[in-house]
Amino acid sequence: MLTLIFTLIILFFSIVLHEIAHGSVAFSLGDPTAKYAGRLTLNPLKHLDPLGSVILPLFLLFFTGGKGPIVGWAKPVPINPYNFRDQKWGTLKVAIAGPIANFLIALFFGLLIRFLPLTSPLLDLFSIIVFYNFFWGLFNLVPIPPLDGAHILFSFLSGKLLRVRAILHRHSLFLLILFIIFGLELLSFLAMFLYSLVVG
């Protein structure tokens, strides 16, 4: 039970940092929308999304009995891409900032595990942080709206391929549910592989 509580706390604060990364990069590119909305803050209440931050994590927690991976998301940071100084790649930079933030968190705590003589329960806590930040970073790279991977994909689409964008948006909820049901095991495997590479 204590591990599950830690996991939920780590989930929420990790996705808060994920969203702050989006907003910070947008701000650095000339878009103050997230700042004016009060979203460049560590206050978790500013980022709470009822479905992604509460309902889905709790559903997965009880559905898997705490034995399966837990996913979720915070309320998306508002951005206005027309404010970006880099009109060509600004959206891509903002989209990829969130997963990179999760990977950097995982890398930092993973290297602490690797090089410091940690003992339980600190070792257990850091291990959860590393695994789940790798897992959530990978999850957000999946190219299904509203995940970051979709925005990254859309940055490369043009011409007739823009139809792909419309199709993904139209069926996004169905595709996301399918992926949560059938794809989380693969992401868990990849996250554990990255965990092993960093931690040793």
Which tokens hold the place of 31?
């878009």
Of the candidates 1, 7, 5, 6, the one whose C-alpha atom is nearest the C-alpha of residue 136 is 7
Residues 6+ apart with CB under 8 A from 29: 83, 84, 85, 86, 90, 93, 94
CA 88 from centre of chain: 23
Residues 6+ apart with CB under 8 A from 69: 60, 132, 135, 184, 187, 188, 191
User: Alpha-carbon distance 76 to 132, whole Å?
Assistant: 19
Task: Name the DSSP letter for residue 45.
Answer: G
Task: Name the DSSP letter for residue 75.
Answer: P
Please give the positions annotated as active site: 19
